[in-house]
Amino acid sequence: MAQHTAHGTSHGGPDRRRRELAAYVLSAGPVPAAELAARFGVSLMTVYRDIEELEREGVLRKTRGGVTARPSGVFEPNVAYRKKAMRAEKAALAAHALRLVEPGMSVMLDDSTTVLELARLLPAVEPLTVATNFLEALNLLTGERGLRLLGLGGEYDPLHDSFLGVGCEEAVGALRVDVCFVSTSSVAGGFAYHQEQRIVAVKRAMIAAAGRCVLLIDHSKLARGALHRLAPLSAFDLVVVDGRAPGEALRALEESGVPYEVAPVPEAGAGAGPDTPVGPNEPNEPNGPDAADGPDGLDGADGPHRSGGPESGGLERPGRPESGGPPRAGDAGRPTASVPSERPSAPAPLSVPPLKESLSDEDPCRR
């Protein structure tokens, strides 16, 4: 039965109203509290109670006089919001990154929604061993007979739908994988940043636990700030950006000496399809002259771009080989399930740049 109040009617009770309120803010962006009160037919006091509850759950964030789900330099929005943002770019990054994965490899995935898109594609290159702390990725890959799954446990965080904390860091540190894929919230001045310390700690552990580490970032991360320094870009063996990255951002990567590749993004109506819209209030920027090709005409599809920029401090990555040979194709502990004939064949792997030696221990980002 509908609940009648002096300010209107709320159908389905407070739980349903909060779900609808959250969905509205996720789609509309920042909304004044007065607008929410009028829209849902409740008092301002009721709206503020709803906002406080949703903020406690990590769904929304209070602002002066209203609420938002927008990311900021100190707050990361929840998984539901992030999954809606930059979907075409994330799909392009995932398809490009898949070319770095070969059957028999061990692969580590972080809890980013960018890397989640890569997880969806991994059954195409079975058999694999996949380790992740992202619950949604584990649920997605459960039942794939050619995948051996390793759950990286710890304290469950509902905001990120993942496992974090000391337990997760120790689980990551007990492994040594062929390749790790991570994303982050911000890239600026030759460093990767994130809003939250707990996320930074787990991602650093993942970087140290991988023979190769690949950073996947859409172009919106190149113009956004975040509070905590994660790592210098030199700590990654490869950075992959989408084809809508502005030319000046690619030139900055080139000047810093960071190996990078550009993942082309299909234009609307040219293969992107209805399932890959751009995120809410984030315009689908056209490709500029430098977007698909790197600076000075360097094509990202032909391999990583390089330049001899100055060295910066990096995370210590113990046990990494000094030469950049191909990752191990497998060992005795790897799964041997055959690839079903109806599955698409694995794409040809890209050449990956030689691995850099660990840099100075004096880098401020290192714990």
What's residue 193's pLDDT? 94
pLDDT single digits (tens) 205-239:
999 999 999 999 999 888 777 889 999 999 999 99
| Chain mean pLDDT for the chain | 75
Among the ranges 26-30, 155-159, 212-216, which has the highest mean pLDDT value? Answer: 212-216
Residue 104 has a pLDDT of 97
Question: pTM for the whole thing?
Answer: 0.61
SS3 for the chain is: CCEEECCEEECCHHHHHHHHHHHHHHHHCCEEHHHHHHHHCCCHHHHHHHHHHHHHCCCCEEECCEEECCCCCCCCCCHHHHHHCCHHHHHHHHHHHHCCCCCCCEEEECCCHHHHHHHHHHHHHCCEEEEECEHHHHHHHCCCCCEEEEECCCEEECCCCEEEHHHHHHHHHCCCEEEEEECCCEEECCEEEECCHHHHHHHHHHHHCEEEEEEEECHHHHHCCCCEEEEEHHHCCEEEEECCCCHHHHHHHHHHCCCEEEECCCCCCCCCCCCCCCCCCCCCCCCCCCCCECHHHCEHHHCCECCCCCCCCCCCCCCCCCCCCCCCCCCCCCCCCCCCCCCCCCCCCCCCCCCCCCCCCCCCCCC
